[in-house]
Amino acid sequence: MSPVLETKNINKYFRKPVDFHVLKDISFSIKKGEFASIMGKSGSGKSTLLYILSTMDTDYEGKLFLNNELVTGNSHQALSKIRNEHIGFVFQFHYLLSEFTVLENVMLPAKKLGVKTYQEIENDAKEKLEMLNIGHLGLKRASRISGGEKKRVAIARALINNPTILMGDEPTGNLDSFNAENVFQIFKRLKEEQGLSLLVVTHDYDFAKRTDRIIEMEDGRIISSGP
Amino acid sequence: MTQWKVILNIAKTHLLTKMKSTATASLGVTFGIGAYITLVSFMTGLNAMLDDLILNQTPHIHLYNEIQPTEKQPIALYDAFEGAFNVVHSVKPKQSQRKIHNALPILDYLKKDPEVKGATPQVRAQIFYLSGSIELGGNLIGVDIMEEVRLSNFRDYIVEGSPEDLQNLDNGILLGAGLAKKMSLSVGDRVQISTVRGDIFPLKIVGFYQSGIAEIDNIQSYANLATVQRILGEATNYITDINIKLNNIEAALPMSQMLEKQFNIKATDIKTANAQFETGTDIRNLITYAVSITLLIVAGFGIYNILNMLIYEKMNDIAILKATGFSGRDVQLIFMSQAMIIGLVGGILGLCIGFGLSVFIDQLPFDTEALPTIETFPVNFKVHYYVIGIVFALISTFIAGYLPSNKAKRIDPVRIIRGT
Ligand SMILES: Nc1ncnc2c1ncn2[C@@H]1O[C@H](COP(=O)(O)OP(=O)(O)O)[C@@H](O)[C@H]1O
Ligand SMILES: [Mg+2]
């Protein structure tokens, strides 16, 4: 099966405060419908890698392909569009626009994409929230809900444009075991029912071992890429 | 493709949740524009009034014979001294008459010119007003009164009586208001005048003339052209001045130069005669714009500050927006829209306040002896000042918004999300 995401010899350096080779020769690929997890000690470069894969960070060497198309070297404008259409991202910390309602937060990327009507987008957003068991929060201000709820809203937002790949930086990080399990089940269902590809950084081995493949990182290198 | 609806929606939410800052920034613009509209309306009103006061009484071109020495003294014509260094002491003016040569043909010629709205002959006479044993020096100007009324706002300056009264009475006089006061005369009274040669004539007062300029009102009076010619003992072709009104004031300078050459006569145009007056107008305009622009710059700094603050507070929002697919340009547009909304709201409010103040000033009584036709402060209501005002507001907020929004455009989302 063809890869949805592929990297070839990605290297990244931090120049400040000291020269630091943070990612070393990262080459791997994620196939369509694959649910992969990344594990590794803190500071091994997992987040840094994810920022590059999500096209937000463009300061690296090597090549990044999405759906077999070279992404590296595209303009910021083009990369924004790629992120909007193809990549759903769940941050390590919960990031929502605090002055908007939960529903508006979820709808924003779809409004930016501008393909569906307002009504369709609203229905989609409600559906995603229902799926994550937070349908009742729709009209609350994003600043008025708990941390675990924010995380799930962020997942709903990442899914709103039906992306090619969903990336998460510890998406179950500060969720209780019930909600963590819930998120895992949702990811699994998305993979199985919609063929969504997922790449998730996690510290939770119980979570990781149930994914298709564990990619292990150490000191900026991939030391094993599963299964 | 720009999703204006989303962008404006985000801008609106930011502005509404920061109501206090938004109001402060808008009020800055409001003051700037309000002050501009008020100042410019009042100042240009004042300018127009002063224009009326002086310029409307001044002919576009004034033709007269100037008393001056000849350029070539007689010795220059004498061959024997050619090339020598001649010194002439006690040079006297050239022997010539005050009257304009061929005045009647010149008048005919002018009246046929399509550029000329009208040309009026005048006879200026130095006279004395006699009041008992007191002699007051002054001028008596013989005019074709109905032509003067047609060509200038002469009628506005006749405070008692009417031009028709003068027209109908052969030995009538429109006495300067200052003179009337000095000599305690009223309409219907007789006043004795004496020419330089000593001939005395009684004239009947048909009205008072008040220009608003004391130096004129204290010495100058008007009578019919024929009356003054008769007083001076001159024929009907004796005319000392010709005043010309043109259809287009801009033609005054070239035409005066042409007439000077053509008729060998002195011709002054309105622009040259009132050069200092134009300077006054320019300076008033300069003050208006300097004050308004200063206020707008202050308002601009206010917007700049508030937007900078807002962007600092909204770093997280900016990072999230960028991470979820909004481009740098979208983010810039969000903050530019905020600046422009502040500019538009503040500007429109400023126009309203400016209009309100102008209406208020326009109704304030402004009573002054010097200006008989003015009852309230002069205010100029012109749409184009309001257009300039709103354009001003938008330009200044655009500039004030551009720099901060450009910063927002370039914020690196990774740095924010990483939390360093
Ligand atoms: N902006 C930065 N400048 C310099 N070093 C950085 C920067 N961001 C991260 N690092 C360093 O890079 C390494 C990898 O960081 P990160 O990708 O966040 O690791 P992980 O997510 O695996 O914990 C760490 O040692 C961290 O200190
Ligand atoms: Mg990390």
Cβ burial A169-200 (10 Å sphere, 16+ → b, else e) = bbbbbebeeebbebbbebbeebbeeeebbbbb
Give the lowest-confidence range in A119-128, B235-244, B291-300.
Answer: B291-300
Distances (CA, A) of B159 to A161, B74, B140, B222: 83, 52, 18, 13
pLDDT value of position A172? 84
A 10 A CB-CB count for B347 gives 28
pLDDT over threshold 90, residue B196? no
Q: Which residues of chain A neighbour B316 with C-beta distances below 8 Å? A: 95, 98
pLDDT over threshold 90, residue B406? yes
Please indicate whether residue A43, judged by its CB atom, sits closer than 6 Å to ligand 1.
yes
Q: Using the atom order of ligand 1, give the atom closest to the CA of residue A46.
A: 22
Question: Which run of H or E residues covers position A17?
Answer: none
pLDDT value of position A182? 85
Of the residues A47, A202, A219, which should be mutated to test ligand 1's pocket, given the most ligand atoms within 8 Å of the CB? A47
pLDDT value of position A4? 92
Inform me whether the C-beta atom of residue A47 falls under 8 Å from chain B C-beta atoms.
yes
The token pair at A209 is: 């071992």
pTM: predicted TM-score of the whole model, two decimal places = 0.75
Please indicate whether residue A12, judged by its CB atom, sits closer than 6 Å to ligand 1.
no
Contact between A77 and B329 using a beta-carbon 8 Å cutoff: yes
More confident residue, B59 or A61: A61
pLDDT over threshold 70, residue B372? no
pLDDT over threshold 90, residue A60? yes
Q: How would residue B370 be classed by pLDDT, with cut points 50, 70 and 90?
A: low
CA of A48 from ligand 1 middle (Å) equals 6
B35 contacts: CB under 8 Å, gap ≥ 6: B291, B292, B295, B354
Average pLDDT, rounded, for chain A: 91
In terms of CA atoms, which chain B residue is nearest residue A160? B324
More confident residue, B143 or B270: B143
pLDDT over threshold 90, residue B380? no
Of the residues A20, A41, A54, A60, which should be mutated to test ligand 1's pocket, given the most ligand atoms within 8 Å of the CB? A20
Average pLDDT, rounded, for chain B: 86
pLDDT over threshold 90, residue A84? yes
Interface with chain A: mutation pick from B324, B411, B415, highest number of A CBs within 10 Å? B324
Instruction: Select A32-46+75-224's CATH number: 1.10.3720.10, 1.10.8.100, 3.30.930.10, 3.40.50.300.
Output: 3.40.50.300
pLDDT value of position B95? 66
The predicted complex's ipTM stands at 0.93
List, as one string, the DSSP characters of B305-363: HHHHHHHHHTHHHHHHHHHTT--HHHHHHHHHHHHHHHHHHHHHHHHHHHHHHHHHHHH
Contact between B322 and A81 using a beta-carbon 8 Å cutoff: no
pLDDT digits (tens, 9 = 90+) for B290-312: 887 887 788 788 878 888 888 88
pLDDT digits (tens, 9 = 90+) for B116-129: 888 999 999 999 99
pLDDT over threshold 90, residue A224? no
Indicate if the alpha-carbon torsion angle A41, A45, A48, A49 is positive or negative: negative
Inform me whether the C-beta atom of residue B3 falls under 8 Å from chain A C-beta atoms.
yes
Q: How would residue B96 be classed by pLDDT, with cut points 50, 70 and 90?
A: low
Contact between A56 and B321 using a beta-carbon 8 Å cutoff: no
List, as one string, the DSSP characters of B31-90: HHHHHHHHHHHHHHHHHHHHHHHHGGGS-SEEEE------SS-GGGG-GGGTTS-----S
| Closest chain B C-alpha to A28 CA, distance in angstroms | 22
